[in-house]
Chains A and B, each alone.
Chain A
Amino acid sequence: MLETDTRRDSIVESLLARGVTRRRFLEFCAATTAILALPVTYEARIAEALETAEKPTLVWLEFQDCAGNSESFLRARDPGVADIVLDILSVDYHETIMAAAGHQAEAAREEAIARGGHIVVVEGSVPTAHGGVYCTIGGKTAQQILAETVQGAAAVINTGTCSAYGGIPAAAPNPTGAVGVPELVSGVPVVNLPGCPMNVDNLTATIVHYLTFGALPATDGVGRPLFAYGERIHDHCERRAHFDAGQFALEWGDEGHRKGWCLYKMGCKGPSTFHNCPSQRWNGGTSWPIGAGHGCVGCSEPFFWDTMTPIYGRLPAPPGFGVTTSLEKIGAGIVGLTALGFGAHGVAKAVQRKRGGDAVQTPVEIDRSALRTGSDEEGGER
């Protein structure tokens, strides 16, 4: 094993030593200030914080996951993932990228926990049914590993809707009793970065916020940072003017669809979804789902797998130009845990369903025929 000394260096020393110019570093600080929606004056404060902060240790846990959030992490830019992994953080445990395997991998996790003050990132839900046999690593259950790893941690960041709220494994009838991390962890600050997957720009910004202010960012009622989830997609959508003008795509590939008109009638869930996709976009600002022609699916909302489906079902709305007012009310109603569905019956069932525990013995069925009513017949024609 390689011998190393224990000297720690600051993030910015590390970046400069790697040939990252000071100018590029300041550009990154400016970009992060913008994502966090902070006044320009905070750029200097962020730069100063990063110049003095020690590299925090990051332990990234994967449970019932698809690695989509790890892949999203690999798409980081400004700073790129190489900068993050080598300089900004000390990523001591991440199954998808780490060199060590087996006992040596688990030893790296244990060493990080022993030092304490680490940041825990979780990806994937935690199965709780039947003693947690549905996810084991090194012979231990996900629940055991989570409990061990959050000991002495500075913060827990849940990436993606699965670790935040249970996600697809917890969708009805939740065969493995999957739950989100907040249901199992207490005594450690927790923040949720939902999305399927999460947008890595929001993870970078959350980490910088933590390093700069020594605390996690302010959140809404379901644990999401306001800087990234404080506004509805509909309110910042580049197609909003078409909605207000009553210009809708009605078939895939029709004139309205080709011209970039509103996708509300194709099932878009933007009016009831809180996420910064329209401004932040994806993959270096290249595009985002609505920009590419498909409606929003509502993936940053808790339990969207049950409450926002069917995907092509239309959100309820009264006919005509009153639509805007009504959608404002609907949107406001779901800031909390309440979810919007396609009929009162379906929503009630979805919210009532039991999460966690022994789902096998208490399967809760969602009445999907009820979900389907209230789709195409509602909403005004243009």
Chain B
Amino acid sequence: MSRIVVDPITRIEGHLRVEAEVDGGKITDAWSSCTMWRGIEKILNGRDPRDAWYFTQRICGVCTTVHAMASVRAVENALGIEPPLNAQIIRNLIQASQFVHDHVVHFYHLHALDWVDVVSALDADPSATAELAQSISTYPRSSPTYFAQVRDRLANFVAAGRLGPFTNGYWGHPAYRLPPEGNLLAVSHYLDALEFQRKYVEIHAILGGKNPHLQTYLVGGMAVPIDPNSQNAINAGTIGRLRGLLREGLDFVTQAYIPDLLLVASFYTDWAAIGGGLGNYMSFGDFPHGNKNPSTDPDNLFLPRGIVLGKDLGTVHPMDPGKIAEYVSHSWYTYEAGDDVALPPLEGETTPNYTGPEPPFEFLDTDAKYSWLKSPRYDDTPMEVGPLARMLVAYAAGHERVVELVDAVLSKLGVGAEALFSTLGRTAARGIETQVLAEYSLDLLDTLAANIAGGDLRIHNGELWDPKDWPAEASGFGMHEAPRGSLSHWVRIANGEIAGYQAVVPSTWNAGPRDANGRRGAYEAALLDTPMADPAQPLEILRTVHSFDPCMACAAHVLDKDGNPVVEVQVL
């Protein structure tokens, strides 16, 4: 038995540490710890609720947009504001393109190097690589010359003696299985995807002024004006440019991402039986049709709301926001009523209480508190959230396009539906979702254009913009599906100011520590039984953890109800 530590887990957002026990070439236990906290809750208290989206957006710059979206929905829900249809469609468009951008970057730049050996690509034959590429896709950059160029660039880079971001990678690790040609193909698209994501995100600059951290959200709508007869508003030219960018996105997903995903997966089908974890999946659902707030109108969504329990795809259980609660038994916080209770978000407390070892340290005391994350539970049950959860709920609910694509991928890989509950299933579901949303984004643009053509130029509902018109007290919540999973913001407003703000975040659901009953979170459960070829080079841990696409800055924001004074922190 040996205990290994991977800290930092890289190629993620934020600061994540995994400790694991390895025995007989397998992981026998695992602990997931977030090692950063900022305390944005204290910072929000007393501020203007109309500013909250701008503050909460800074919870994360990778999932930029998602906390802004959840925040405006929470404040709108509290105050009873409905945005105009145009604003809702623009929000959906921003969200759908965020999914496409974020998932592409995850696959190529954060996750691919877990499966792709960059150095092996040097041994590839460019002609054979071109044949391989042309056999799986119509992606235009597929000539022997193109692959020879990439290989030569790479060779020159390696020969210069500086590997830059590829320094100390696990090159040559026995768990890498792609042939050199597969590796060269993937590395080529790694570079192409860097260019693609830079250009594609111009959608966000058009609709949001800039990316990261778009700046056109408003409580009550959006600040990007619409006027077919103005050069300073969304007009026919803007819509044409958006259409071009969205089409390029769909092309890249269809011609590069999906074929590459299937190619890589076909060499790693054993990972369809590894990393399954909890088996419980939750989705809040999202992409509202019409202009109702999806938080309280769950029946009118493009991606459905629901829960799949115990890997049973035969039943979609309803999801009730009132059943969410959080433990701090193994988190560096204290509850007034004791650390073994679970509190619902609107009654939540955030009193930091660091009891970990004094830095610098080697190991955490995982029998005690060991993370800056809380442990959220639904109906006292741990849940996995994210693309796999969304696709499983949609599949079980009979979402036509999702069913079609999931079945096609399973058939292509020659595996059954049980393969979905795995590390590979998580990675495949993310690709399927990207395809679904890249297609849907073009429908959204058509809907926007049709609405404008009908004469509707409204982008903001200003009836309750002035805080003088608000009730003395109000509270509400905003639900949202972020690329990494189910996100909810909860706000209390008193006398025009924020009196309490809470967020329960996707990576908190997935990366949180054990609860009062010792039940593991999703990462911890998924790592059990993972084979380890060489514990000194923990590539397999990265595969499963990366399949969740961790975002730790999000997870550890932890927002507070009423800004209680922080108690004395103990440094041992």
Contact check, B109 vs A97: say whether CB atoms are below 8 A apart: yes
**Cβ–Cβ contact A283 & B9, under 8 A:** no
Please determine whether A310 and B48 come into contact, CB atoms closer than 8 angstroms: yes
A168-B201 in contact (CB<8A): no
Name the segment of B226-234, B252-260, B305-313, B316-324 touching the other chain. B226-234
A182 close to chain B: CB less than 8 A: no
Q: A252-B221, A368-B497 are in contact. Are A131 and B206 (CB under 8 A)?
A: no
B450-466 toward A: CB 8 Å interface, digit per residue (1/0)? Answer: 00000001111010010
Q: Beyond A7-B159, A66-B61, A133-B359, is A100–B209 a contact (Cβ under 8 Å)?
A: no
Is there an interface contact between B211 and A4, defined as CB atoms closer than 8 Å? Answer: no
Q: Are B164's CB and A140's CB within 8 A?
A: no
Establish whether residues B215 and A92, one from each chain, have CB atoms under 8 Å apart when the complex forms: no
Does A138 count as interface, using CB distance less than 8 angstroms?
Answer: yes
Instruction: Please measure, in the bound complex, the distance between the C-alpha atom of A91 and the C-alpha atom of B164, giving whole angstroms.
Output: 5
Interface residues of B in 10-63 (CB under 8 A from A): 10-15, 35-40, 42-43, 46-48, 50-51, 54-55, 58-62
Which of A92, A169, A258, A365 touches B39 (beta carbons < 8 Å)? A169
Most chain A beta carbons < 10 A, residue from B61, B210, B362, B460: B210
Q: Which residue of B lies closest to A168 (CB)?
A: B58
Q: Is the CB of A66 within 8 A of B360?
A: no
Name the residue in B165, B216, B538 with the highest tally of chain A Cβ atoms < 10 Å from its Cβ.
B165
Residues of B within 8 A of A171 (CB): 43
Whole-angstrom distance between the alpha carbons of A111 and B172 in the complex?
Answer: 21
A102 and B6 contact, CB distance less than 8 A? yes
Query: Measured between C-beta atoms, what is the minimum distance from A11 to chain B in Å?
Result: 11
* CB <8 Å contact, A81 and B198: yes
Q: Which of B149-157, B335-343, B405-413 is near enough to bind chain A?
A: B149-157
Contact B37 A176 (CB under 8 A): yes
Q: Which residue of B lies closest to A94 (CB)?
A: B165
**Roughly how many angstroms separate A127 CA and B207 CA in the complex, as a whole number?**
35
CA A250 – CA B156 in complex, angstroms? 58
Residue-wise, chain A 126-168 has the 8 Å CB interface mask toward B (1 for contact) of 0101111111111111001000000000000000000000011
Check if A172 sits within 8 Å of B359, measured CB to CB. no
Once bound together, how far apart are the Cα atoms of A14 and B197, in whole Å?
A: 24
Q: A102-B9, A168-B55, A284-B199 are in contact. Are A17 and B161 (CB under 8 A)?
A: no
Closest residue of B by beta carbon distance from A277 = B210
* Interface pair B565/A102, CB less than 8 Å apart: no
Q: Mark A55-96, 1 if CB is under 8 A from B, else 0.
A: 101000011111111111011110011100111011110111
Q: Is B417 an interface residue (CB 8 A)?
A: no
Least distance between A278 CB and chain B CB atoms (Å): 12
Question: What are 25 A-B contacts defined by CB distance under 8 Å?
Answer: A17-B153, A63-B36, A67-B13, A70-B61, A77-B198, A80-B195, A90-B164, A96-B13, A98-B11, A99-B170, A101-B8, A108-B167, A108-B168, A136-B15, A136-B361, A137-B8, A175-B43, A175-B566, A258-B233, A292-B209, A293-B209, A293-B232, A305-B43, A310-B47, A360-B569
The 4 A-B pairs of least Cβ separation, nearest first, read A68-B61, A260-B232, A175-B39, A99-B169
Q: How far is the CA of A192 from the CA of B189 in the complex (A)?
A: 34
Known: A7-B159, A19-B149, A292-B216. A76 touches B569 (CB 8 A): no
Q: How far is the CA of A291 from the CA of B232 in the complex (A)?
A: 7
Interface residues of B in 164-190 (CB under 8 A from A): 164-172
Contact of A140 among B166, B215, B220, B360 (CB under 8 A): B360
Q: Is A347 close to B, CB under 8 A? A: no
CB distance from A111 to the nearest CB of B (A): 8
Give B residues with C-beta under 8 Å from A: 5-15, 35-40, 42-43, 46-48, 50-51, 54-55, 58-62, 64, 105, 109-110, 113, 118-119, 149, 152-153, 156-172, 191, 194-195, 197-199, 201-202, 204-213, 215-216, 218, 220-221, 223-227, 230-233, 352, 354, 356-362, 372, 457-460, 462, 465, 497, 537-538, 542, 553, 565-566, 568-569, 571
B-chain residues with CB within 8 Å of residue A321 when the two chains form the complex: none
A191 to chain B, nearest CB (A): 21
Tell me the complex Cα distance, A80–B216, Å.
27
A82 touches B212 (CB 8 A): no
Q: A77-B198, A252-B460 are in contact. Are A257 and B225 (CB under 8 A)?
A: yes
A14 to chain B, nearest CB (A): 7
Does A251 reach chain B (CB closer than 8 Å)? yes
Residue in A77, A97, A102, A365 whose beta carbon sits within 8 Å of that of B8 in the complex:
A102
Q: Does A219 contact B (CB under 8 A)?
A: no
Instruction: Please indicate the chain B residues that have their CB under 8 angstroms from the CB of A7 in the complex.
Output: 159-161
Chain A residue contacts of B352, Cβ below 8 A: 175
CB distance from B70 to the nearest CB of A (A): 15
Would A66 and B60 count as touching, CB distance under 8 A?
Answer: yes
Q: Which listed residue (B11, B537, B571) contacts A97, Cβ 8 A? A: B11
A8 to B64, CA, bound (A): 38
A363 and B565: CB pair below 8 A?
Answer: yes
Q: Tell me, rounded to whole Å, the shortest Cβ–Cβ distance linking A167 to chain B.
A: 8
Contact of B58 among A4, A80, A196 (CB under 8 A): A196
Q: Which residue of A lies closest to B156 (CB)?
A: A17
For residue B47, which residues in chain A have a CB less than 8 angstroms away from its CB?
A: 309-310, 368
Whether A312 and B50, one on each chain, are in contact in the complex, defined by CB atoms closer than 8 angstroms, is yes
* B6/A251 in contact, CB under 8 A: no
Nearest chain B CB to A83 CB, angstrom units: 10
Q: How far is the CA of A128 from the CA of B466 in the complex (A)?
A: 39
User: A377 on the interface (CB 8 Å rule)?
Assistant: no
Q: Is the CB of A291 within 8 A of B209?
A: yes
CB <8 Å contact, B225 and A258: yes
A95 lies within 8 A of B161 (CB): no
Q: Is the CB of B198 within 8 A of A101?
A: no
B241's closest neighbor in chain A, by CB? A286
Q: Does A282 contact B (CB under 8 A)?
A: yes
- In the bound complex, do residue A4 and residue B497 qualify as a contact, i.e. CB atoms below 8 Å apart? no
Distance of A283 Cα from B213 Cα, bound (Å)? 12
Bound-state CA distance A99–B108 (Å) is 12
Query: Contact: B194 with A282, CB < 8 Å?
Result: no
Q: Give residues 250-286 of A contacting B (CB, 8 Å).
A: 251-253, 257-260, 282-284, 286
B residues within 8 A CB of A178? 38
Q: Give the shortest distance, in Å, between A256 (CB) and chain B (any CB).
A: 10
User: Across the interface, do B213 and A68 meet the contact criterion of CB distance under 8 Å?
Assistant: yes
**A14-B155 Cα distance, complex, nearest whole Å:** 11
In chain A, residues 1-47, which have Cβ atoms closer than 8 Å to a Cβ of chain B?
Answer: 1-2, 4-9, 14, 17-19
Q: How many angstroms between the C-alpha atoms of A105 and B7 in the bound complex?
A: 9
B190, closest chain A residue (CB)? A82
A325 at the interface (CB under 8 A from B): no
Q: Which of B54, B159, B164, B465 has its CB near the most chain A CB atoms (within 10 A)?
A: B164
B interface footprint on A100-124 (CB within 8 Å = 1, 0 otherwise): 1110111110010000000000000
Does residue A311 face the partner (Cβ distance < 8 Å to B)?
yes
Q: Which residue of chain B has its CB nearest to the CB of A123?
A: B61
Q: How far is the CA of A63 from the CA of B566 in the complex (A)?
A: 22
CB-contact partner of B165 in A80, A99, A287, under 8 A: A99
B108 → chain A, closest Cβ, in Å?
11
Kindly provide the distance from the CB of A283 to the nearest chain B CB, expressed in whole angstroms.
4
Q: A67-B553, A258-B232 are in contact. Are A289 and B159 (CB under 8 A)?
A: no
Of A57, A137, A258, the residue contacting B15 (CB under 8 A) is A137
Assess whether A68 is in contact with B159, with CB atoms less than 8 Å apart.
Answer: no
B157 proximity list for chain A (CB < 8 A): 14, 18, 86-87
Nearest neighbor of A141 in chain B, beta-carbon distance: B359
A window 312-339: CB within 8 A of B: 312
A86 touches B164 (CB 8 A): yes
Determine the distance from Cα of A5 to Cα of B226 in the docked complex, in whole angstroms. 58
A288 at interface, CB cutoff 8 A: yes
A225 at the interface (CB under 8 A from B): no
A197 at the binding interface (Cβ < 8 Å):
yes
Task: Tell me which residues across on chain A come within 8 A of B213, comparing CB atoms.
Answer: 68, 196-197
Q: How far is the CA of A87 from the CA of B158 in the complex (A)?
A: 11
In the bound complex, do residue A293 and residue B149 qualify as a contact, i.e. CB atoms below 8 Å apart?
no
User: Closest residue to A299 on the B side, CB-wise?
Assistant: B213
